[in-house]
Amino acid sequence: MDATSLDDVLLEADDKMTKAVEFLQRELAGLRSGKASPAMVENLQVDYYGAQTRLREIANITAPEPRLLVINPYDPTSLGAIEKAILAANIGITPVSDGRIIRIPIPELSEERRRELVKVARKLAEDARIAIRNVRRDANEAVKQLAKTSQIAEDDRDAALSEIQSYTDAHIAKVDQMVTAKEQEIMAV
């Protein structure tokens, strides 16, 4: 962190921690639970006219039923590429095309697969916690550097370190809450 003032350090730390939580939220949304969710496939990369493009940018994705996804490409010629990308993603779903749209029936998850997905969710959460702690470490070092160069008083340094720790605790609590909710969603039959 190369912030010039204490406020900059604190704002940057909070912003980076919030981004780590938001990233985890997107990753968890893409994890398959027992029900259909457009988030499962919307970020898949499709080879669209030679360019890697996110599926949500070239198709409308809906979940009309709890166990069915429907992908309606804006360009019907991209159907084959979309099917290929879904199969290549290896997320345990098989697309069915009728020449205009792609239907993806979502099969029931086995107990073993549910446990594997919970492990993946926990790993993603731990990665987010590590990212948050790294931000805390960098912010603490920046605050200590400001104090060392006499840009802030010791009282301000101590208050800032305390505030950074409270940011860390709050963001890690959000991570724990999100992963617990996702685990319950995955294990629900």
Q: What CATH number has the domain bearing residue 133? A: 1.10.132.20
Residue 66 within a domain: yes
Q: Which domain holds residue 71?
A: 35-105
Give a yes or no: residue 178 inside a domain: yes
Quick check: is 1 in a domain? no
Question: Interhelix angle for 154-187 vs 6-30, to 10°?
Answer: 10
**Quick one: 118 and 173 in the same domain?**
yes
Total of domains in the chain = 2
- Same domain for 98 and 115? no
Residues 139, 162 share a domain: yes
71 with 82: CB under 8 angstroms?
A: yes
173 is a domain residue: yes
Token output for 15: 């912003």
Say if residue 97 is in the same domain as residue 114: no
Strand pairing partners for 53? Answer: 46
Q: Which of 105, 122, 146 is the last residue of a domain?
A: 105
Residue 76 belongs to a domain: yes
The verdict on 157 and 178 lying in the same domain is yes
Task: Please report, in angstroms and rounded to a whole number, the separation of the first and last CA atoms in the chain.
Answer: 45
* Chain centroid to CA 160: 29
Residues 6+ apart with CB under 8 A from 61: 38, 41, 42, 55, 69, 70, 71, 72
Alpha-carbon distance of 72 to 54, in angstroms, equals 14
d(CA 109, CA 89): 17
Last residue of a domain, one of 105, 126, 150: 105
Closest CA relative to residue 177, chosen from 12, 24, 19, 17: 24
Is 130 inside any structural domain? yes
Per-residue pLDDT of the chain (189 residues; tens, 9 = 90+): 544 788 999 999 999 999 999 999 988 887 766 677 788 888 888 988 888 999 889 999 998 888 889 999 999 888 989 998 888 877 778 889 888 899 988 877 788 888 888 898 999 999 999 999 999 999 999 999 998 988 888 899 999 999 999 999 999 999 999 999 989 888 876
Q: What's the pLDDT score for residue 33?
A: 67
Instruction: State phi, psi for 53 to the nearest 5 degrees.
Output: -130, 140
User: In terms of domains, do 23 and 114 share one?
Assistant: yes
Q: From 59, 75, 105, give the residue that closes a domain.
A: 105
174 secondary structure, DSSP code: H
Bridge partners for 48 per DSSP: 51
Whether the Cβ atoms of residue 45 and residue 52 lie closer than 8 Å to each other = yes
Torsion angle, alpha carbons of 58, 33, 65, 47, to 10: 20
> For residue 58, what are its two tokens?
């070239």
The model's pTM is 0.70
